Chains A and B, each alone.
Chain A
């Protein structure tokens, strides 16, 4: 019984993390049709930025936990704006209209460049920024000790998901974006500045990536290569959910998160395959992913 509760809690926490990581990827794909290989690097940049800021903030031994959360989010947004602007203005805007696969390769090149750029900026030594993680303490749920920070992550994921959904479904800007998603040319003919929409979307996607990294940083040790590790996971989530669909990413994250927690508790030997196994299974049954529709409204 305890194990079932544990699966539920662990699975949900992991799913929230997966969703945060995948949200930016799916937003960018939905609007821009770019499967962004460099998304993992954005995640890593967010983690590094947050970890170095937290390290600096607590370096003199004082500092309040409350401030550190603001710092985390502030760093993520700042890093997202800077990196997003640089990449979009400096590179991607010259590439629009190219083949979808070619865009994947461009972002793959970007990934290689950013991995080394991070190494040049932050070095290879691990960054440890645990203060926000431990500051919240832990709760006991049915005999299982759970970190409050991890529980808070669930809340953040829900808020981010709802905000994205509300933004797309309930605001004017969201309607314009949906028009772009639906038909780029027609939207353009109707007077929508598609390129501006792309810029905006890319900034938001990037910031979601850095936010996921910044929120993860306190619970891990930030080392080179963490970005590469999350890309395939994020891809799996969005492919399972249906590329470009926010609801899909949420459901995909839950499905993968719970499956993995189940494997860890009841069949640890299958843990290594579970993500790819579920992904293959879903695609075999629904070739477009759970919420993917060929031409219908995406995101």
Chain B
């Protein structure tokens, strides 16, 4: 009998818990602050290289803005005078769960804007929901070219990061400029959408810009495999001169380490489109001359302007290392949001509506840690910025790595014009590209 009472109490407890959770329905709402949902990977393999630097950058920028410590034009406090409150959410768990968490952010936590998303699958799934809920959403990193072709007529969704096609068009242009004579090119990509799309964009651009170069080998290991012994052998056997890879995070570091130890990188130059994110960790394991990118003018490629100087210093003071590209991208996105919200205006200290902010964001030009950004594609919802590539250089004496031989390609040189998909643009031979 006694167990029965306890059980009944427990049962009541479970029921109460469920009801209570439903009832609380977050009264966190309107406290006069500008609430921003920050969604990025806090767990899983993408957390270390991307998620945590991004979350750190968000903290640095939000704290800086709340203190009014940033240089002009962002020297006003908060967003439109309202204090910024960041709600950080883990992006792990897949698209369905992210849709659920996105709704929670918007409807339960009543955030005024969401900045986030690294995974392309998450971006694709979130975009229509953001439009449905009329929730201002800034995608800061995901690269899929399908974002604004699958979700046509965006109103509330913006992407401040660049399309992944830009990475690979830029990469081929860099090769064409620095190694025009290479003929044997190989590639190794993670076997998922990111790797497959990167490889397609790269090889198609290669066919147009460097018709003499032949693809001698393509490997697609499972994502997060970590061991690339067989792949490295298969690549070595074909004796390529350049090995292109869109690997990122632990996979990229492991591949470079193993390929270097196995001698593949003695004869071939690696071209790593995401290489910059591991700049501080490669040490002497990546050979000098390895071509690395940062998916835009971010991280070590960010321009030398006042905003970036402030950001690098604040970030380095807080976390003991210079910001890598995901960090710069996050800072860039939040600054874009601030610029738009303040352009939308309203009384100082008030939170502008999503409608007004979205209207102001559309087609806007804003200053940022990565230079000037124009929301000039996808009907004013997609940013256009230049992309840079350079080569890795490690100084064993100081233990510091740097990038040299940097070439920057203007946005107009690597970004398809509005109304053209990147795929069609590449196949047509880049009509209308304006290169410096």
**Does A touch B (CB under 8 Å) in the complex?**
yes
Would A116 and B262 count as touching, CB distance under 8 A?
no
Q: How far is the CA of A116 from the CA of B278 in the complex (A)?
A: 23
- Of B42, B224, B249, B285, the residue contacting A126 (CB under 8 A) is B249
Contact with B along A187-228 (1 / 0, CB 8 A): 000000000000000000000000000001001111111100
What residues of chain B lie closer than 8 Å to A149, measured between beta carbons? Answer: 261
Would B233 and A225 count as touching, CB distance under 8 A?
no
A247 interface hit (Cβ, 8 Å): no
Q: Which of A115, A144, A220 has the largest number of chain B CB atoms within 10 A?
A: A220
Q: How far is the CA of A150 from the CA of B234 in the complex (A)?
A: 16
Would A229 and B226 count as touching, CB distance under 8 A?
yes
B76 interface hit (Cβ, 8 Å): no
- Of A3, A11, A220, the residue contacting B250 (CB under 8 A) is A220
B222 interface hit (Cβ, 8 Å): yes
Would B233 and A9 count as touching, CB distance under 8 A?
yes
Q: How far is the CA of A14 from the CA of B258 in the complex (A)?
A: 14
User: At the interface, is chain A mostly helix, strand, loop or mixed?
Assistant: helix
- Of A14, A138, A260, A264, the residue contacting B261 (CB under 8 A) is A138
Q: How far is the CA of A91 from the CA of B262 in the complex (A)?
A: 43
Q: B33-63: which residues lie under 8 A (CB-CB) from chain A?
A: 42-45, 47-49, 51-52
Count, A-B residue pairs, CB within 8 A: 136
Q: A11-B230, A224-B48 are in contact. Are A147 and B224 (CB under 8 A)?
A: no
Would B230 and A264 count as touching, CB distance under 8 A?
yes
Q: A124-B43, A229-B225 are in contact. Are A265 and B230 (CB under 8 A)?
A: yes
- Of B47, B227, B230, B278, the residue contacting A219 (CB under 8 A) is B227
What residues of chain A lie closer than 8 Å to B236, measured between beta carbons? Answer: 144-145
Would B262 and A222 count as touching, CB distance under 8 A?
no
A285 interface hit (Cβ, 8 Å): no
A2 interface hit (Cβ, 8 Å): yes
Q: A133-189: which residues lie under 8 A (CB-CB) from chain B?
A: 133-134, 138, 144-147, 149-150
Tell me the smallest distance from the CB of A261 to a CB of chain B, in Å: 5
Q: How far is the CA of A119 from the CA of B43 in the complex (A)?
A: 8
Q: How far is the CA of A195 from the CA of B246 in the complex (A)?
A: 50
Would B43 and A130 count as touching, CB distance under 8 A?
no
Tell me the smallest distance from the CB of A223 to a CB of chain B, in Å: 4
Tell me the smallest distance from the CB of B47 to a CB of chain A, in Å: 4
Q: A220-B227, A220-B254 are in contact. Are A3 and B237 (CB under 8 A)?
A: yes
Residue on A nearest B51 in the bound complex, by CB: A124
What residues of chain A lie closer than 8 Å to B225, measured between beta carbons? Answer: 229
Tell me the smallest distance from the CB of B159 to a CB of chain A, in Å: 25
Q: A126-B250, A221-B254 are in contact. Are A138 and B226 (CB under 8 A)?
A: no
Q: How far is the CA of A217 from the CA of B411 in the complex (A)?
A: 40
Q: A13-B229, A124-B42, A272-B191 are in contact. Are A224 and B222 (CB under 8 A)?
A: no
Would B220 and A271 count as touching, CB distance under 8 A?
yes
Q: How far is the CA of A223 from the CA of B191 in the complex (A)?
A: 19
Would A145 and B262 count as touching, CB distance under 8 A?
yes
Q: How far is the CA of A150 from the CA of B237 in the complex (A)?
A: 18
B253 interface hit (Cβ, 8 Å): yes
Q: How far is the CA of A225 from the CA of B227 in the complex (A)?
A: 14
Q: How far is the CA of A133 from the CA of B218 in the complex (A)?
A: 26
What residues of chain A lie closer than 8 Å to B233, measured between beta carbons? Answer: 6, 9-10, 144, 264-265
Q: How far is the CA of A268 from the CA of B230 in the complex (A)?
A: 11
A128 interface hit (Cβ, 8 Å): yes
Would A226 and B230 count as touching, CB distance under 8 A?
no
- Of A119, A123, A264, the residue contacting B234 (CB under 8 A) is A264
Residue on B nearest A12 in the bound complex, by CB: B229
Tell me the smallest distance from the CB of B295 to a CB of chain A, in Å: 18
Would B51 and A271 count as touching, CB distance under 8 A?
no
Would A10 and B230 count as touching, CB distance under 8 A?
yes
Contact with B along A258-299 (1 / 0, CB 8 A): 001100110011011000000000000000000000000000
A125 interface hit (Cβ, 8 Å): yes
Q: How far is the CA of A260 from the CA of B230 in the complex (A)?
A: 8
A19 interface hit (Cβ, 8 Å): no
B289 interface hit (Cβ, 8 Å): no
Residue on A nearest B42 in the bound complex, by CB: A124
Contact with B along A104-121 (1 / 0, CB 8 A): 000000000001100100
- Of A2, A9, A271, the residue contacting B221 (CB under 8 A) is A271
- 9 pairs across A/B with beta carbons < 8 Å? A13-B229, A126-B249, A134-B261, A219-B258, A219-B261, A221-B254, A223-B45, A223-B250, A271-B220
Q: Which 3 pairs of residues, A with B, have the shortest CB-CB distance?
A: A223-B250, A221-B253, A10-B230
Q: Which residues of B contact A (CB under 8 A)?
A: 42-45, 47-49, 51-52, 191, 218-222, 224-227, 229-231, 233-234, 236-237, 249-254, 257-258, 260-264, 278, 281, 283, 285
